[in-house]
């Protein structure tokens, strides 16, 4: 099961890198960030597919998208100086809480 979570972690990291590069690709008009985006998403989906061998798709997607949202929001705030107001922060907290509840208490997650 540890390997499954490692695959999921790697998928999340590649997705976050690809999404960050997508912002910098400027509508696919810049070559290097465009290539990082395409390769990053391809690798993200590859590792996501490996995760789906042993975990339910709904659970995997909830963790993957929730963690991705939190990380991309943090990157947007730090790198791109995007503002976060209180409702955005509360929403991020709720997403994080949901991911934690799934991982800690759901019987749908294979341990």
Where does residue 26 fall: left (phi above 0), alpha (psi -120 to 50 degrees), or beta otherwise? left
The pLDDT tens digits along the chain (111 residues) read 889 999 999 999 999 999 999 989 999 999 999 999 999 999 999 999 999 999 989 889 888 999 999 999 999 999 989 999 999 899 989 988 988 888 788 777 665
For residue 45 the two structure tokens come to 């989906």
The percent of the chain in helix, strand and coil, each rounded to the nearest 5, is 80, 0, 20
- Residue 41, SS3 per DSSP: helix
């Amino acid at each position: 099961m540890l390997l499954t979570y490692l695959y999921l972690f790697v998928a999340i990291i590649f997705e976050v890198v690809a999404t960050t590069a997508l912002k910098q690709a400027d509508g696919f008009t810049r070559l290097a960030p465009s290539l990082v985006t395409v390769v990053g998403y391809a690798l993200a989906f590859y590792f996501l597919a490996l995760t789906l061998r042993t975990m339910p798709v709904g659970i995997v997607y909830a963790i993957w998208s929730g963690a991705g949202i939190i990380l991309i929001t943090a990157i947007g705030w730090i790198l791109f100086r995007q503002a976060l107001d209180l409702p955005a922060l509360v929403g991020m907290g709720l997403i994080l809480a949901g991911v934690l509840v799934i991982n800690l208490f759901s019987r749908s997650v294979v341990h």
